[in-house]
Chains A and B, each alone.
Chain A
Amino acid sequence: MESDFVTYDKPPISYRERRFSRFLLFFEDLIKVPIFRCQHCGECILSSTGFVCSQRCPKRLRNGPCGGTRADGHCEVYPERWCIWYKIYMRSKFWGRIKLLYKINRIHNWNLERTSAWLNVFKKRNDAPVLFVCNDKEAEKLDDFKRQD
C-alpha cells in the first residue's frame, strides 16, 4: 500500500519493558537533553532533521514548517524564538543532509512517549538513524518509507 507510513505500530509495550526503557532513558537523557533539548517523544527523528529536535515546535510538527514562519525566520507563536524548522533547514544545509528532509515521518506513536528511543530502534519500533549521508543512493532508499520490520 502506498500510504503505509500511517499504520499503527506494534501493540503497547509491556510494563516490564517500559520500566527497563525508563532506566535506559536516564542515560539517554544525559546526552540528549543538554545537546538536543530532547522532548522524549520516544520515536527519535533527529537524524532526518539535521540533528535539531523538531519536537520543540509548539505544534510538534514532524514533517516540515507550518505556513507561519516569520520573515526573519522566527516562530509565529513565540516571536522571540527561532522557528525550529528554519533551524532544521539551516543545519541540514550545513551538514549536507537536505535529502533527508524529503523523508516522510510517520504518525507519532504516543505509546512510546517517555521511553528510550535507542531501545525502540533496537526493538525495531522505529527507523534506525541515518548517521552518514554519502551519496544519492542512500537518499533513494529513503523513498521507501515502509516500516523496516
Chain B
Amino acid sequence: MILKDKINSGQFIVCGEIGPPQSCDGDVIRKKAQYFRGIADAVNITDNQTAIARLSSIASAKILLEEGVEPIIQMTCRDRNRLAIQSDLLGAAALGVRNVLCLTGDYQTFGDNPEAKGVFDLDSTQLIATVAKLNSGYLLSGREMKKAPEFLIGAAANPFAVPFEMRLIRLCKKIRAGAHFIQTQPVFDPELFRNWMERVVEMGLHEKVAILAGVMPVKSVNTLLRMRADVPGVKINDEYIQRMEKATDPQAEGVKIAVEIIQTVKNLKGIRGVHIMPFLWESIMPTIVKESDLRN
C-alpha cells in the first residue's frame, strides 16, 4: 500500500527522515534504509538540508525505492527556478517517486556556501500550486502532458513561530493551493502545539489535510542548546533541557522525551500521524516506534 492509500484509509502514519551524505556514497543511504523498512510508512529525504551540498534527494529516493522503502522527496525553492523544478519533478515521477514535500528552503548563508546565489523563483505555496498543476496534466506554460504525474503533495507548517495567526493563514493558503498532507516542525513545546491544533480543528483544516506532528529525538543536551541558539523558529521547553542535563544516560533520556511527546500528540484531535526526524541518529528509529506503540 502506498502512502496516498494509507492517508486516505485514515490509518496512523509514521514518517521518518534521512539526510543524504556529503559524498557520492550511496551505501550510506542503503544502510540507513534498513532502520526504516517495515517501520516507517514513508521516509523524507532532505534536499541540501541547511544549505549544505549533499547527495541529490531524487537520486537517494531511487536508492530507497530499490531498498523497498517509500520515499518522500523534499523540493526546495532555494536551488531551482521554475524550469528546473518542473524537470526535476517529472524526472522524479519517471523514477517512481510519488510523494513530494514542498519547502521554501533555508537561506544560503546558513550553509557552507554562503556566497551562493539563492534562487527563490517560487515560494512554497506557489510550488505546491505548481505540483498540483503538473498533477492535473499541464505544465506551467499551459502545455498539456501526455502522461501526468500523480504526486501526493506535502507541505510544512511551523506552529511555534510568531505571528501565530499568520501561520494559520499560511496553512490555509497551502491547503487551498493543493497540499494533501502537512508535516510540522519538531514539537518541543506540547502545550503550544495543543493550542495550535485546537485552532486548526476550529477552522476545520484537519479534515482537508492529514497533519503529521514532527518529533525529533535528540542525543545530547548540546543538540538542544545548539538548536535553540542557531535554528530560528524552533521553541524548546526549558523542562527538556534540564532533564537532558541531569540525565546520566542522555541517549536513553532523549528517547524517553521523544516517546513522551509522541504519546501526547498522538491523542490530540486532528493528528493523523507523526513525522520522526532522527537527525544523524537514524538507528534509534526502531526503538522509538516500538516504545511508543505506534506499530501494533
Which residues of A line the B interface, CB within 8 A? 1-3, 5-8, 58-71, 73, 76-77, 85-86, 89-90, 98, 101-102, 104-108, 110
User: What are the residues of chain B within 8 A of A60 when measuring CB–CB?
Assistant: 120, 123
CB atoms of A6 and B123 under 8 A apart: no
The answer to whether B233 touches A67 (Cβ under 8 A) is yes
| A104: contacting residue among B106, B173, B235, CB under 8 A | B173
Q: Which residues of A contact B133 (CB under 8 A)?
A: 1, 3, 6
Complex CA distance for A85 and B104, rounded to whole angstroms:
15
Docked CA distance A2–B173 (Å): 13
| B232-A70 in contact (CB<8A) | yes
Contact B140 A7 (CB under 8 A): yes
Name the interface residues of B105-132: CB closer than 8 Å to any CB of A.
106-107, 109, 118, 120-126, 129-130, 132
Contact in complex: B170, A64 (CB < 8 Å): yes
Q: Is the CB of A3 within 8 A of B107?
A: no
Q: Which residues of A contact B124 (CB under 8 A)?
A: 63, 66
CA distance A104 to B136 in the complex (A): 19
Please give me the residue from chain B that is nearest to A90 by CB atom.
Answer: B163
Q: For chain B residues 167-222, which have a beta carbon within 8 Å of chain A?
A: 167, 169-170, 172-173, 176-178, 185
State whether the Cβ of B166 lies closer than 8 Å to any Cβ in chain A. yes
Count of A-B residue pairs with CB < 8 Å: 121
Beta-carbon contact of A67 and B140 below 8 Å: no
B256 near A: Cβ within 8 Å?
no
Interface pair B104/A66, CB less than 8 Å apart: yes
Q: A63-B125, A69-B232, A89-B165 are in contact. List 11 more A-B contacts (CB 8 A).
A: A2-B178, A7-B142, A59-B120, A65-B167, A66-B104, A69-B233, A98-B165, A98-B169, A102-B169, A107-B126, A107-B130
- Chain B's closest residue to A58 (CB) is B107
Q: Which of B27-35, B154-162, B281-289 contacts A (4 or more CB under 8 A)?
A: B154-162
- A68-B161, A85-B166, A86-B163 known; A61+B123 contact, CB < 8 A: yes
**Interface residues of B, CB < 8 Å — how many?**
43
Q: Contacts A77-B107, A107-B122: A67 and B169 contacting too (C-beta < 8 A)? A: no
Q: Are A71 and B122 in contact (CB under 8 A)?
A: no
Closest 6 CB pairs of A and B: A64-B170, A67-B158, A63-B125, A76-B232, A68-B232, A89-B163
Q: Which of B109, B121, B140, B173 contacts A102 (CB 8 A)?
A: B173
The 12 sampled A-B contact pairs (Cβ below 8 Å) are A1-B138, A6-B140, A59-B118, A62-B126, A64-B166, A64-B169, A65-B167, A67-B156, A67-B158, A104-B173, A105-B126, A108-B121
* CA of A133 to CA of B235, assembled, Å: 35
Q: Which residues of B contact A67 (CB under 8 A)?
A: 104, 156-158, 161, 185, 233
Contact of A86 among B120, B162, B169 (CB under 8 A): B162
Residues of chain B lying within 8 A (CB to CB) of residue A89: 163, 165-166
User: Bound state CA distance, A58 and B117, in angstroms?
Assistant: 11
Q: Are B170 and A63 in contact (CB under 8 A)?
A: yes
Q: Which of A68, A86, A110 counts the most chain B CB atoms within 10 A?
A: A68
A132 to B232, CA, bound (A): 35
Report yes or no: B129 in contact with A5, Cβ–Cβ below 8 A.
Answer: yes
Q: Is B37 close to A, CB under 8 A?
A: no
In the complex, what's the smallest C-beta–C-beta distance from A5 to chain B, in angstroms?
6
B54 at the interface (CB under 8 A from A): no
Task: Determine whether B141 belongs to the interface, using a CB cutoff of 8 Å to chain A.
Answer: yes
* B80 interfacial contact with A, CB 8 Å: no
Q: How far is the CA of A85 from the CA of B169 in the complex (A)?
A: 12
Q: Which chain B residue has the least Cβ–Cβ distance from A6? A: B129
A101–B169 touching, CB < 8 Å: yes
Whether A62 pairs with B123 at a CB distance below 8 angstroms is yes
In the assembled complex, the CB of A102 is this many whole angstroms from the nearest CB of chain B, namely: 6
CA distance A31 to B273 in the complex (A): 50
B82 part of interface (Cβ distance < 8 Å): yes
